[in-house]
A and B are shown apart, each in its own frame.
Chain A
Amino acid sequence: MRVEITDEVIPAAEIVAEIKAGEDGAVCVFDGIVRNNTRGRKTLYLDYEAYREMALEKMQGLAGEAVERFGVRDVAMVHRLGRLVVGETSVLIVVASAHRGAGFEACRWLIDTLKKTVPIWKKEQFVDGAIWADGEPFPEEQRVGGSSEQRVSETENSSRGVAFELKGGLGEESGRPSPPPRAKALVGDPGSDEAHISKSRAGAPGSVAKVEGGGGR
């Protein structure tokens, strides 16, 4: 199984050609390409990023699961990251099988499941702004946000912006045009991409301890 995350152009024709074997009766290809608009808004390019190691592992898992679930012979799945312009392939899924039905089903399941569970994100650059694309909701078993318990403790802690300086930016939502980032770490070397939140200044342990005592769980 050829499963890759790449920063280069995906060699679609080569991948399709190399997967074919004598026992195959069908090769089903899903070629996901960058469209020139989203809901009528003109797209200039997309920037894809990933939690790379985890994304690759999840893709490998999906490829193996597709073979088991649908009885197809082989799967190739390649996702590209970085800046892609209109018409370029962002994801290629190829399924080789003895019969077409299983191939179509596996191909459909692979792209649908990838879009829900593989940690890859894209930012859409339009002529008049950029937004992070609305993601597919996580399956229930993977989502951890949004419990009522957490909302209660959020209220209790809302006044404690210990580690970060907030300059507005409240009520931000993904999927809408957003201003530049406005929250930054108070503690940390601005020249480094790593912000250290120290024990003494951030008070994180105290906050957590208080959350526990305040019914945060």
Chain B
Amino acid sequence: MRVRVLYFGVLKDLFGHDHVEMELAEGSSVADLLTLHRGLIATSVWDALAVAVNQEYSRAGDLLKDGDEVALLPPVSGGVEG
């Protein structure tokens, strides 16, 4: 199956682009996708990550399906400091 992975914030800089199309094995979960990414780039962001599947926050065990839009979200920093 094919999913579209979106990178935001520091991840966009680290990967050098804002999205990729990825082929995954059927039955892959959000955790599997994260494991794959952890092997690509070492960054502490992975430990603090949230993942949105089709614009809803997801859990590590959620299964992905063909055509999903999966966004990897570093801790958010909108608004203002303090």
Q: Could you tell me which A residues sit within 8 Å of B by CB distance?
A: 32-35, 38, 48-51, 53-55, 57, 79, 90-91, 111, 114-123, 132-138, 141-147, 149-150, 153-154, 157-158, 160-164, 166, 169-174, 178, 180-185, 188, 193-199, 202, 204-209, 211-212, 216-217
Contact = CB atoms under 8 A, between A and B. Distances in A.
Contacts of B31: 144, 147, 149-150, 216-217
Interface of B: 6, 8-10, 13-25, 27-32, 34-36, 38-52, 55-61, 71, 73-81
Contacts of A162: 39-40
Contacts of A193: 17-19
A157 B8 contact: no
9 contacts: A90-B79, A138-B73, A144-B49, A150-B46, A157-B39, A170-B41, A185-B20, A193-B18, A208-B24
A121 B76 contact: yes
Contact of A137 (B20, B35, B44, B48): B48
Contacts of B6: 51
A164 B81 CA distance: 34
Contacts of B34: 144-145, 150
Contacts of A195: 17, 20-21
Given A116-B76, A211-B36, A144 B50 contact: yes
Nearest to B41: A183
Given A150-B60, A199-B23, A211-B36, A181 B78 contact: no
Given A51-B52, A164-B40, A196-B21, A145 B76 contact: no
A123 B73 CA distance: 14
Nearest to A203: B23
A194 B41 contact: no
Nearest to B5: A197
Given A144-B51, A145-B49, A138 B32 contact: no
